[in-house]
């Protein structure tokens, strides 16, 4: 009987000891959680305070904005398009949004913006390269990829060959691939005229596109028409380069040159 009571007392003591340890474990865990929470909140407040300091500190106010890659545009036009301003905080500037605003300008094909700490921003742009004008009720710039990207304003250059003979509806119609192909061939002619030869791009005033008759070039100095047709443009261009030196002395009397013949050219004079 005495042994039984002794064993019972021992079990009670063990249970009380176990409960005490469990209680201590819970209290310790609570304080450890509280400590980590304080560290996290403190770190967040520290970071938030640091970020607030960065985007408000006068030390990081923009003092200089530089622009590279200009041909058509001026630095003032690019900076105005970017909406950047002197005294903006350099860390508060959203570089992605600035890039989007710049590339929304018709003359800007690509743009990048870079911070140069502590107080400078650098803008680098790649402008579109206009190779011709195209007449679609109004004059528009055309780039080397055949993209119509901007209506020509009064103060902008008109010193480009003009592509005529097609309409906007023909270009946008899915069923007029022939017109789009001819526009591509007109650009091919301009590439050929950019090389060596008697007829240079600077002496081409107009390229007329006729879906039935093909392409015709009009020279700037003599208004001579050169009929090239629909196909074999490279061969005909080579033929033209061999022919023009023989006509050099009387080119001003030539009304048109027709190259739509396999073994000959027809030259019509006044």
Whether residue 53 is contained in a domain is answered as no
- Specify the number of domains making up the chain: 3
265 shares a domain with 160:
yes
Which residue, 84, 94, 89, 87, is CA-closest to 57?
89
Q: Are residues 97 and 155 in the same domain?
A: no
Q: Tens digits of per-residue pLDDT, 191-205?
A: 999 877 778 888 999
CATH number at residue 155: 3.40.50.11690
The answer on 252 and 216 residing in a single domain is: yes
pTM, to two decimals: 0.73
CB of 134 within 8 A of CB of 167? no
Pair 136, 111 in one domain: no
Main-chain dihedrals φ then ψ at residue 109, nearest 5 degrees: -85, -45
Query: Rounded CA gap, 50 and 13, in Å?
Result: 55
Is the same domain home to 184 and 248?
Answer: yes
Assess whether 173 and 96 both reside in one domain. no
Strand residues in 86-181 grouped as ranges (E)? 108-116, 120-127, 130-136, 138-143, 148-151, 162-164
166 CB-contact burial (10 Å; exposed 0-12 / middle 13-18 / buried 19+): buried
Tell me, yes or no, whether 114 and 68 share the same domain.
yes
Q: Is the domain of 110 the same as that of 87?
A: yes
- pLDDT tens-digit map of 84-113: 999 999 988 999 999 999 999 999 999 999
Question: Is 224 in a helix, a strand, or coil?
Answer: coil
Cis before 211 (ω within 30): no
| Residue linked to tokens 């301003």 | 85
Residues of the domain holding 67 = 59-127
Left (φ > 0), alpha (ψ -120 to 50) or beta: where does 219 sit?
A: beta
| Contact assessment for residue 132 and residue 190, using Cβ atoms and an 8 Å cutoff | yes
Any idea what the Cα angle at residue 140 is, between residues 134 and 142, rounded to 5°?
Answer: 65
CATH number, residue 84 = 3.10.20.310
Model pLDDT for residues 196-245, shown as the tens digit of each residue:
777 888 899 999 999 999 999 999 988 999 999 999 999 999 889 888 88
Q: In terms of domains, do 254 and 137 share one?
A: yes
Residues 196 and 144 in one domain: yes
54 inside domain: no
Is residue 27 a part of any domain in this protein? yes
Of 103, 127, 151, at which residue does a domain stop?
Answer: 127
């Amino acid at each position: 009987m005495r042994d039984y009571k002794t064993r019972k007392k021992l079990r009670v003591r063990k249970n009380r000891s176990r409960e005490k340890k469990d209680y201590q474990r819970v209290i310790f865990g609570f304080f450890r959680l509280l400590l980590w929470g304080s560290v996290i909140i403190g770190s967040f407040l520290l970071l938030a305070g640091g970020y607030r300091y960065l985007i408000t500190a006068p030390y990081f106010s923009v003092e200089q904005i530089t622009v590279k890659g200009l041909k058509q545009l001026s630095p003032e036009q690019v900076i105005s398009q970017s909406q950047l301003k002197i005294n903006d905080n350099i860390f508060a500037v959203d570089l992605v949004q600035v890039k989007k605003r710049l590339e929304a300008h018709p003359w800007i094909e690509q743009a990048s913006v870079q911070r140069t700490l502590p107080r400078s921003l650098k803008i680098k742009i790649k402008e579109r390269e206009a190779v011709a004008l195209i007449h679609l009720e109004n004059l528009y710039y055309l780039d080397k990829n055949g993209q119509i990207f901007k209506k020509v304003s009064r103060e902008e250059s008109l010193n480009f060959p003009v592509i005529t003979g097609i309409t906007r509806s023909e270009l946008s119609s899915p069923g007029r691939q022939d017109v789009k192909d001819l526009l591509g061939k007109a650009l091919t002619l301009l590439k050929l005229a950019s090389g060596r030869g008697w007829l240079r791009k600077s002496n081409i005033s107009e390229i007329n596109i006729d879906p039935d008759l093909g392409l015709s070039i009009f020279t700037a100095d003599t208004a001579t028409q050169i009929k090239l047709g629909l196909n074999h443009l490279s061969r005909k261009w080579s033929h033209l380069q061999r022919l023009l030196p023989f006509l050099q002395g009387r080119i001003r009397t030539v009304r048109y040159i027709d190259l739509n013949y396999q073994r000959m050219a027809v030259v019509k004079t006044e």
